[in-house]
Structure formats: structure tokens, C-alpha cells
Amino acid sequence: MKEIKDIVRAFDEAVQLGKKAALATVVHVAGSSYRRPGARMLVTEEGKLTGAISGGCLEGDALRKAVLAITQDRKKLVIYDTTDEDDARLGIQLGCNGIVSILFEPVDAEHAGPINILRKAAAQRKSAVIVTGYSPDNKTHLGTIDPFSGKDAEQHLIRDKAAQVMHSGKTLHCSLAFADSTQELFVEYCAPAIALVVVGAGNDAIPLVQMAELLGWEVIMVDGRATHANQQRFATVQRLLVGKPGDIFPALQFDYRTAIVLMTHNYNYDIELLGLLNTHDIPYIGLLGPAAKRDQMLQELSEKGIHFTEAQRNCIYGPTGLDLGAETAAEIALSVCSEIMTVLQQRNPMHLKQKSEPIHSQA
């Protein structure tokens, strides 16, 4: 979601300056590519780029295509065949061994439909589906649309596909024959950004918050000490909650994309808050400290009649983090963020060179 939010922000700035822009969306990839379908980039008429559709190798040519789409005021589908040995002659030199299809849509203050769809998806803390339709013959492109608006027969077909994606949580590609054209549809499932609740505003929390924000996560800081949890130390977090666990807990919200890390270095504070978490199904609960501390906490809570189900216990990660050989606070932050990503993205951490299948899941 961070890329989408950045694009929306850049578009608003362009509108304020009276500038036109084009939205570039990777709609299909065959073979290998640095970015996958759903990668987006906003290009303003003066050449400012926000987001990315490749590792940098496509951006130069994409800039020219975007400006052309703005000038001609029409959507354009551009296909980059990086398996072609002549790509060096074209000056692209990708070396990714894949075929990348990118749709360029001109957008401005009066024609901001695609951006508004992205804006709506980023603003709500729930799953969304974004549909991008394009024509292989490069004639009439639906472009980025809201799949749940409209009532005509064609929209009904799109809505059915979107409902399928919303239910499965998996992006798909499909073809639909309409009255005047056949459209390839990229039906994208967009999960909300990860929400990270950091319990503990010590110095070691600073790099964790910074890293989470760099990743585009929503960060909530919790602590009982106003001297530590304040705007001077954590100016960019979404929320600051200061108080006793029982007082601040009702203000916390949890969903399937929420992770919480207990790291106050105050055993009583951490165990009191942990004892409140058994009323929710939270996919990731991280405990700073050794496994013995985790076991002691759970035993003490059990003796007080506070029990966690087996499924809930499986979501408690103590010690928190992956084994990266981390020592410093920054390295530990990397370890914790990496583990949170593997859990919430449902991946098994491993060396990519050991994978026999494609790195990215296929729609």
C-alpha cells in the first residue's frame, strides 16, 4: 500500500501545480521480471517519477511512453519483451528474461478516476480489489476501474470476477468478451498495510519504528511512560498511546494484518498486556527476550485462569525475530520485521537460490 499512497500524494501535488500525469501499471508478466503485476508508477508531464515498474531499467523508456500518452490523451499498452536478444539494440537492456505488459493511463484534475480508485483502496483498513482492463490489440482499454460500481451486463461480469478474488484473496488474470472488444482483466487483490503495535518506547524501539515506516506499515506506539512515548521521540507514528495496559487496550484494534511486539523491558507491563491479548486472534505476537521468559509468562497467566488456545500459542513468537545473527538494535529490528513479513505473507524464510519454483506467486 505504501507505493499506492505515495502515488496518490504525488498526484495531488501535481494537481496543485496544474500538471498532467500518467499512471503506469504493470498488468501482466510472462517469465521473470523485477516487479510483478500491480506495480505502479506515476509520471508527471515534466518527468517526475513516483513508484516503480522495474528495477530502473524500464523507467527511461516508460517516461517517454507516459509523456506520449499524456500528449495524445489516450491509454496505451506497451509490451517489453526482455527475452528478445535485440533488446540491447533498443537501448533497454533488461536482462530479466520476461515479457512485461504496462498500461499507461493519462490522469489529471478532471480525469482522476484511476487515482481516486487507488485513493479509496489506500484509505480504508480492509481488503480491496482493483481491476485494470486492457485490450491486446491496443485499441480500447477499460483502464483502472472500480469493479463494484455500475449495473450494466458487462459490469456484472467484472463484479463476479472481483467477488471471486475478494473471497479467495488471490489476484487473477482473465479474458472477458464484451460487446465491442475483448478485454484482458488484471483483477488485483490488495491487502491493507501491515499494522505494527510496538509496546515499549525505549531506544531499541526507534530503529524498529523507522524500519516499519520505511516499509509503509502503520505504526502504533504503546508505553506507560510519557517521558518515552512522546512526539519528540516518535514524531511519525500513526498513534501514541500512553497509560496502563488496561486503560489503553480498548483503544487498540486488531485484524489479520496486525502484529504486536512487546518490548518494554518491564516484565509486569508486558505480561499484563499479553494477558489481554487472548481475547483476540492476532496473527503475530512478538516477545522480546528468551524462550524461558515466554514460558514463564504463559505459565503465570495460566495460573491466573488466562489461557491461550493452541492456535493462539502458535502465533506467539518469543524470542521475536528470525535468526540473522542480529546483535545491535538496528539488526534486531531487521530480524523482527523480516519475521513479521514471513508470517503475515505466509512464507517460509529461505534462501531464494534454493527455490525451484518462481520467486513470486503466480496469479
Q: What confidence score (pLDDT) does residue 84 get? A: 59
Q: How confident is the model at residue 61 (pLDDT cuts 50, 70, 90)?
A: confident
Name the more confident of 64 and 55.
64
> Is residue 177 very low, low, confident or very high in pLDDT (cuts 50, 70, 90)?
confident
pLDDT at 82: 67
Q: In this predicted structure, what is the pLDDT of residue 90?
A: 43
Read off the pLDDT of each residue in 16-33 and give the average, rounded to a whole number.
86
Report whether pLDDT(363) > 60: no
Q: What is the mean pLDDT of residues 135-156?
A: 78
Res 292: pLDDT: 95
Domains within the chain, CATH numbers bracketed: 2-190 (no CATH), 195-344 (3.40.50.720)
Report pTM: 0.84
pLDDT recorded at residue 91: 43
Q: What is the 3-state secondary structure (H, E, C) of the chain?
A: CHHHHHHHHHHHHHHHCCCCEEEEEEEEEEECCCCCCCCEEEEECCCCEEECCCCCCCHHHHHHHHHHHHHHCCCEEEEEECCCCCHHHHCCCCCCCEEEEEEEEEECCCCCHHHHHHHHHHHCCCCEEEEEEECCCCCCCCEEECCCCCCCHHHHHHHHHHHHHHHHCCCEEEEEECCCCEEEEEEEEECCCCEEEEECCCCCHHHHHHHHHHCCCEEEEEECCCCCCCCCCCCCCCEEEECCHHHHHHHCCCCCCEEEEECCCCHHHHHHHHHHHHHCCCCEEEECCCHHHHHHHHHHHHHCCCCCCHHHHHCEECCCCCCCCCCCHHHHHHHHHHHHHHHHCCCCCCCHHHCCCCCCCCC
Average pLDDT for the chain = 88
pLDDT digits (tens, 9 = 90+) for 261-281: 999 999 999 999 999 999 999
